[in-house]
């Protein structure tokens, strides 16, 4: 396990995976436990996480999202909001904002945990809601908002840049 700041520095999106190297069950468990330890509004955890390991499902997801690497990565996690669960406590703010924040913070924790465990990942947000809902057979209360591929890398990730801190922070 690597130090937190090293983990952050080393995490990069990876879009080619070693398809024949499975993610160890203990590592997957640690990633999922990390995800659910993320903060959430009112501690409601208004989300569900689909764990997609089946090759046919991953291939179908790759096809409908047009993101081929989903079929290469041995694991794909689907972070789904349960907006009405949050709305029961927080009304519109829970429905429109907190559920999405809960689910995506959990996905962020999972992504960092994967990096700390020596695995690679990529966040996939570009997909058709209707097709993904149908493929994952989601009940009406769930909406997939982020997919996360997880596996051992088969490429050196591309270097990415960031906007300068000065361009991002402001002091009201
Ligand atoms: C909300 C969101 C949606 C994203 N959607 C996709 C996607 O559909 N496909 C993809 O390959 N990467 C996707 N990414 C990954 C970004 O392209 C990537 O994080 C960004 O280019 C920075 O690179 P890095 O992750 O290597 O630092 C997404 C990331 C986020 C946070």
Per residue in 102-129, pLDDT (tens digit) is 999 999 999 999 999 999 999 999 999 9
Whether residue 58 lies inside any domain: the answer is yes
At residue 152, does pLDDT exceed 80? yes
- Predicted local confidence at residue 2, as pLDDT: 62
Neighbour tally for 160: CB within 10 Å: 7
Whether residue 60 lies inside any domain: the answer is yes
Whether residue 103 lies inside any domain: the answer is yes
Q: Using CB atoms within 10 A of its CB, is residue 22 exposed (0-12), middle (13-18) or buried (19+)?
A: middle
Whether residue 22 lies inside any domain: the answer is no
- Beta strand pairing status for 142-151 and 47-52? unpaired
Per residue in 14-35, pLDDT (tens digit) is 999 999 999 999 999 999 999 9
Whether residue 133 lies inside any domain: the answer is yes
At residue 77, does pLDDT exceed 70? yes
CA 89 to centroid of ligand 1, rounded, Å: 31
- Predicted local confidence at residue 71, as pLDDT: 98
CA 13 to centroid of ligand 1, rounded, Å: 7
- Predicted local confidence at residue 103, as pLDDT: 99
Handedness of CA 14, 38, 145, 73 (dihedral sign): positive
- Domain with 3, as residue range(s), is 1-7+46-156
Q: Which residues lie closer than 8 Å to 4 by C-beta, 6 or more apart?
A: 116
At residue 1, does pLDDT exceed 80? no
Neighbour tally for 16: CB within 10 Å: 17
**CATH number for the domain including 119?**
3.40.109.10
Whether residue 34 lies inside any domain: the answer is no
Whether residue 86 lies inside any domain: the answer is yes
Per residue in 157-169, pLDDT (tens digit) is 878 999 999 999 9
What is the count of structural domains for the chain?
1
What is the overall mean pLDDT for the chain?
Answer: 97
Ligand 1 environment, Cβ below 6 A: 12-13, 15, 67, 122-126, 157, 160
């Amino acid at each position: 396990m690597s130090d937190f700041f090293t983990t952050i520095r080393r995490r990069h999106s990876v879009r080619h995976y070693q398809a024949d190297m499975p993610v160890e069950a203990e590592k997957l468990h640690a990633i999922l436990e990390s995800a659910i330890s993320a903060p959430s509004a009112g501690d409601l955890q208004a989300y569900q996480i689909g764990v997609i390991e089946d090759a046919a499902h991953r291939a179908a997801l790759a096809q409908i999202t047009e993101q081929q690497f989903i079929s290469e990565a041995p694991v794909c996690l689907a972070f789904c909001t349960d907006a009405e669960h949050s709305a029961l406590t927080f009304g519109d703010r829970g429905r429109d904002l907190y559920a999405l924040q809960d689910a995506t913070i959990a996905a962020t924790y999972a992504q960092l945990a994967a990096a700390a465990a020596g695995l690679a990942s990529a966040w996939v947000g570009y997909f058709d809601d209707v097709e993904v809902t149908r493929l994952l057979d989601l009940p009406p209360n769930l909406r997939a908002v982020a997919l996360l591929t997880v596996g051992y890398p088969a490429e050196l990730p591309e270097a990415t840049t960031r906007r300068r801190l000065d361009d991002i922070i402001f002091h009201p």
